[in-house]
């Protein structure tokens, strides 16, 4: 039971760290409490939600978009159990894929709750009831991810008051859905149920949606969602959520700035106010691993905690709670432990909202550049002027490129549009190499493609777009 590396948690950060370390010749064990590998992302987060987003988007297209293309399928009928079965099959396939990869790379899995009992020692209480096993390792990585954040006084029962976990497993489409929180998770899952027939109202404490994203993008995107039937009540503080047996749930809220309260009734309430680091039961306090005031594990630039030999990556440390950020940290840490020079460029981590249209961003927003006093130029191009977008009826949205006014280096790219989550990556690659808007503008793009809008936005930085 002696290893070079023990990874606690097999979400995207943990299993990737384990596999990369094994590739580099380390003897590796992983500890997973859930019983299936893949963490929140594969089991109840990214993957199942994308399966439902895709299926519900096709349902919406069949109902409202096909006729414009000369396809008359009548009125589509929703088979929600079959849609949920597709989601479950997708999850199972991905989870089995992680099992295969761990086995292929000779990583030893231990299914049970792990606790660090001393530097270099992890006690695993096995899920199969066989008792506890003590693993010894030269290095231990905390990769336990995050859990759903809640509001004080609100009890989530995963039936009528649900977290993201319950929202991907409803057994019927609610007539009315209230979403508390206008962030990525709330808008994505709100989109799923809105497409399937729910009337969706979003309550948000701030005076805008998608906090942290570019302000212009958020404003335009809100209008698009409103056209899809979303109702937004911004600048509102939720004070209570009261289930009423088999009846509707009553949500009470008031202006965040102060004022009289209101109530709204809903069949289902989704609490989507963010996530918090998951560090319960790991023995961190007992061994002296420090955490900050938000519960995140404190690490240095090489992911080392305050206790020698113990490291942390992913959602439990500072930074965006994104699966791909955790994966890159897992690779970087594995390489560091193997004597290499692992590194993550935190300035080039894309973020995507998987609605329709999608929202994607990499780098800095206009608000961030202004706050930092950085002079920049902006170029923007709408999909209404893109030939492929017209042909596919996906003309909503635009691409915005932000470049340094002096050097022309691209500092941020923001996209609202169909396929934005894929389009953003040419900007990410460009920025990773320190490229300029001129580099992007002079790169030949295939015609007709949605990606031509990215090139045109880069041309627009220099006030010379061709197609508008």
- Side-chain-facing half-sphere of 418: CA atoms under 13 Å: 16
Q: Three-class SS of residue 432?
A: helix
447 is catalytic: yes
Terminal Cα distance for the chain, rounded: 65
Task: Show Cβ contacts of residue 45 under 8 Å, excluding neighbours closer than 6 positions.
Answer: 39, 164, 323
- Side-chain-facing half-sphere of 217: CA atoms under 13 Å: 30
- What is the DSSP code (8-state) at residue 362? E
Tally of CB atoms within 10 A around 54? 17
Q: Are 263 and 251 in contact (CB under 8 A)?
A: yes
146-148 vs 275-277, strand pairing mode: antiparallel
- Residue 137: closest CA among 146, 127, 124: 124
How is residue 199 written in tokens? Answer: 């009337």
CA dihedral 427, 344, 314, 419 (to 10 degrees): 10
- What is the DSSP code (8-state) at residue 143? -
CA dihedral 45, 94, 35, 85 (to 10 degrees): 70
- Separation of alpha carbons 78 and 442, rounded Å: 47
Q: Are 179 and 192 in contact (CB under 8 A)?
A: no
- Separation of alpha carbons 382 and 400, rounded Å: 9
- Side-chain-facing half-sphere of 214: CA atoms under 13 Å: 29
Whole-angstrom Cα Rg for the chain: 24
Tally of CB atoms within 10 A around 371? 10
State residue 10 phi and psi, 5-degree precision. -120, 40
- Separation of alpha carbons 163 and 147, rounded Å: 10
Q: Are 5 and 137 in contact (CB under 8 A)?
A: yes
From 343, 425, 447, 467, active-site residue: 447
- Separation of alpha carbons 156 and 254, rounded Å: 21
Q: Where are the alpha helices (DSSP H) in 322-413?
A: 323-337, 366-371, 387-391
Q: Which residues are catalytic?
A: 447
């Amino acid at each position: 039971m002696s290893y070079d590396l023990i990874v606690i948690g097999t979400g995207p950060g943990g299993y990737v760290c384990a596999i990369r370390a094994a590739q580099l010749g380390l003897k590796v064990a992983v500890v997973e409490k859930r019983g299936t590998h893949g963490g929140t992302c594969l089991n109840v987060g990214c993957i199942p939600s994308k399966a439902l987003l895709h299926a519900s988007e096709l349902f919406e297209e069949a109902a409202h978009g096909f006729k414009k293309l000369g396809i008359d399928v009548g009125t589509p009928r929703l088979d929600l159990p079959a849609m949920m079965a597709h989601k479950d099959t997708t999850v199972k396939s991905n989870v089995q894929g992680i099992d295969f990869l761990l086995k292929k790379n000779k990583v030893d899995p231990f299914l049970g709750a792990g606790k660090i009992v001393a530097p270099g020692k992890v006690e695993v209480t096995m899920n199969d009831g066989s008792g506890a096993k003590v693993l010894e390792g030269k290095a231990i990585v905390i990769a336990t991810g995050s859990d759903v954040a809640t509001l004080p006084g609100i009890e989530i029962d995963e039936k009528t008051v649900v977290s993201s976990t319950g929202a991907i497993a409803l057994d019927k489409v609610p007539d009315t859905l209230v979403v508390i929180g206008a962030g990525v998770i709330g808008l994505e899952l709100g989109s799923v149920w809105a497409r399937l027939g729910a009337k969706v109202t979003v309550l948000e404490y701030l005076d805008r949606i998608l906090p942290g994203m570019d302000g212009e993008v958020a404003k335009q995107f809100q209008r698009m969602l409103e056209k899809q039937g979303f109702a937004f009540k911004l600048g509102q503080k939720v004070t209570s959520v009261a289930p009423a047996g088999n009846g509707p749930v009553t949500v009470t809220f008031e202006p965040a700035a102060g004022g009289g309260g209101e109530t709204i009734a809903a069949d289902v309430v989704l609490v989507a106010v963010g996530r918090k680091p998951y560090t319960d039961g790991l023995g961190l306090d007992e061994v002296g691993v420090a955490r900050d005031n938000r519960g995140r594990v404190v690490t240095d630039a090489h992911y080392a905690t305050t206790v020698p030999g113990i490291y942390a990556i992913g959602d439990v440390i500072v930074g965006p709670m994104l699966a791909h950020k955790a994966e890159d940290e897992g690779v970087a840490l594995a390489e560091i432990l193997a004597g290499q020079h692992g590194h993550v460029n935190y300035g080039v981590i894309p973020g995507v909202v998987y609605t329709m249209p999608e929202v994607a961003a990499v780098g800095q927003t206009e608000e961030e550049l202004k706050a930092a006093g950085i002079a920049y130029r902006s170029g923007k191009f709408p999909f209404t002027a893109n030939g492929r977008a017209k042909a596919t009826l996906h003309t909503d949205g635009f691409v915005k490129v932000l470049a340094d006014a002096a050097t022309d280096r691209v500092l941020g790219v923001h996209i609202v549009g169909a396929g934005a989550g894929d389009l953003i990556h040419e900007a990410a690659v460009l920025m990773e190499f320190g490229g300029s808007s001129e580099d992007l503008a002079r790169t030949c793009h295939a015609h007709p493609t949605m990606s031509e809008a990215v090139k045109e936005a880069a041309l627009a930085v220099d006030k010379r777009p061709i197609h508008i």
